[in-house]
Amino acid sequence: MIVPLAILLPIVFGLMTLGINSVSMMANRARLADASSEATLAVSAATLANDTQSVSGRQEIERNRDMVVSWMKYYFPGMKSVPEVNFTVAEGQHLAGSDTRYTYYDVDISLTLPQLFTYQPVTSGKSDYKLKAGNGHVNKYVSKPADYVFVVDFSGSQAGGRIAILKSVFAEITDFVLTNSPESKIAIVPFSTGVSVVMPGTNQRGGQNMGCSVLFVPNSDWNINYAFWGDKKVSTSYARKPLKTQTYYMDSARYSFYKKYVAASLPTIKEAEMQNRWCRKNSAYGVNEGQMQYSCFDPRDKYPDPNDPRNKLEDIFSKESQGLIEQEYAKAAKIFSRQAVTFTIEHDESINYPATLEKMFGNEAIITFPLLWTPYDSADYRPWHYMCRQAGWWKHKAGNDLTKESALSWLIPLTNSKTELDQFQKMDPVGGTHLSSGLIRSVPVMMEGTNRRKVFIMMSDGDDSPYPKITTDKWLKTYNLCQKIEEGILARSETNASKVEIYYISTTNAYTWVDYWANNCTGPARSKTASKRDDLVKLIKGIITDETGHLAVD
């Protein structure tokens, strides 16, 4: 039977329309699957939080939506309208059968595309059709347990709004890490010119003992017992004087400290009681005798082992102290004088760079000296008084004496205790800036960790102070400090390390220093800037998780 052409042609056109449109639709469906997968990876790389409550969160959603729309326009230039884009983000997901945690991202895309052929009997007059993205998702895994050491600029320029932002950032980051990777640990190293630390034991009135800590091997002309001299009066005026002249003025300053600060702390103590509790009465006294009528010192052992020779150094008239004063006074006076210019004992003349590189992975080269609770610029009691002002001082807050004393900031070693990490919220910055010093001092902190991934995150608002800048430049350009840190940690089996990363974050958009650290330490991918709270959170979360994510299919 011969089918009339009038009947056959509509059938042929219908089949052609159906076939071509179907092939086009299947091709576009496959193309959309690829496009949506790539778009979802891009969204995960941007660490979208999908915060619909805050203004900044909604702005971030719109930026990511615009990015996805641009992606769709590239793949589908013939789109008839703007696609519908919705996001799903779920943090803290747990991978079944393991301890791995991840953030789940899904981008739901619906777009309208034109039919290639519009034949009424087949398309019913419709000139377009809708496609939705398939079931491709992205899981962005929180890295396996890691050790994170934050080396944080606590110079005076960070005060006010900047430290408020950092406190908010750390509160969220701490929760994020401990929720998603409980085995991970975080340390905080607050630096200015030196790192402030809480020392063992208590002071004479029961409050904290504070100290200032750096790590370097001194050249011979600058090598003294810094812990001994850290609370003694020294002066170039007495450097060539007889030993008794030197000890008399040291003794005089010590008595003054006990009277002005120890006895004056609440509840106050009368001078006679002070003398009875902490001072030895001398039958002969005066400059020629080398001592005051009362020589004051804390009779308690500073160190647990009573046979520890350092316990003999609290009394400046012990045999051990007298020998040390005789040997080192002139050098200590020179260091005191130089520190008034450089604002630190850790300067280009004093540092033995090669020896420091060898010893920075342990505690041997750590120098920690006491900070008496006096005004921060009291050179009679704090000879290195330009250092570690971020530790605090006499009555930096109302009533802050030796009894109620509370530090301004202090080093928090690696821990996964939220209680310990939340102490950062109580801290405040003061002082200069010496970033390389803070980084080096953080190395033995990192060495205490046992997780295989080690991440240093330096955060600063700008340049080093003038003399510290000289040493930072030398450390980075001449001695390849960052490379030596990475190589040294990986080479030591006790660290259990498989990966070491060093990041630099400028908190003030200081692009000059972003480039400087990129070129001389971290590489461009690990030197960034973020000055706003949400940008900092996103940047740090991006460091903690992997860079983009991994496609997953339901």
**pLDDT (tens digit per residue) in 440-499:** 999 999 999 999 999 999 999 888 999 999 999 999 999 999 999 999 999 999 999 999
Q: For the chain, which residues make up each domain, given as ranges?
A: 5-141, 228-338
Helix (H) or strand (E) holding 299: none
182: closest CA among 152, 146, 208?
146
- Please give the Cα distance from 3 to 316 (Å, whole number): 121
User: Dmax over Cα atoms in the chain, in whole Å?
Assistant: 140
522: closest CA among 452, 448, 460, 429?
460
Judge whether residue 123 has pLDDT over 50.
Answer: no
- Read off the tokens for 289: 């005798």
Residue 466 near residue 227, CB atoms below 8 Å: no
- Please give the Cα distance from 187 to 456 (Å, whole number): 10
Q: What local confidence, expressed as pLDDT, does residue 58 receive?
A: 80
448: closest CA among 211, 147, 217, 152?
147
- Read off the tokens for 553: 């299919």
- Please give the Cα distance from 477 to 31 (Å, whole number): 49
Q: What is the pLDDT of residues 136-168, one digit of tens each?
A: 577 766 657 899 999 999 999 888 889 999 999
Q: What local confidence, expressed as pLDDT, does residue 550 receive?
A: 60
Confidence of residue 14 (pLDDT cuts 50, 70, 90): very low
